Chains A and B, each alone.
Chain A
């Protein structure tokens, strides 16, 4: 029962470096999301995808890019990391349901930019 898996779990980057966070889900969900959590800020949506090959901006998309080349994977990229991107990143997925979309989260990726 893997659910939503994120790699890496921890990473330290220098300002200006680039990296990619990988997310994989084995629940055959259509929708996938990337959120960030900062102290006192709750969870904020960065980007999301409603299906393979499609992506859309969320509440805080600046400085990030995403790709959904396969249904089960959703990648989050930082092209030039900044200290303001130090955060905990959560990938999530859900399926379209008329009764309500419950989102299932991964365990998180802790990113520090120095």
Chain B
């Protein structure tokens, strides 16, 4: 039973436009959410995170939105650049109850392709 779902295996976006990657979760104990970016043959790298006490967090071109009532989060990339082409993983943690020691639960990833 998947607790973190990324329903779009791939997404094509034109360079310069906005990329929106979506993620849904089912576990109401999750209170900390992260996005990771992964290039082929490399390990995932941390991109941006958000705590459940917020509904938005911004870092440069990247913004994460959290809708707790819908158990949904999204990552917005504006403007999209060719270097953004990668697989993006959504991840979640039950920080308050688990302390984060038992790691993160990941979605299956969305392959973002930025087209010139």
* Chain A residues close to B by CB (< 8 Å): 4, 31, 33, 35, 40-45, 48, 50, 56, 58, 90, 92, 94, 96-108
Contact = CB atoms under 8 A, between A and B. Distances in A.
B100 A101 contact: yes
Interface of B: 6, 9, 32, 34, 36, 41-46, 49, 51, 89, 91, 93, 95, 99-109
A96 B101 contact: yes
A105 B99 CA distance: 19
Contact of B103 (A48, A99, A104): A48
Contact of B95 (A4, A31, A48, A100): A100
Contacts of B9: 40
A44 B102 CA distance: 12
A36 B43 CA distance: 11
A101 B46 contact: no
A44 B41 CA distance: 17
A102 B34 contact: yes
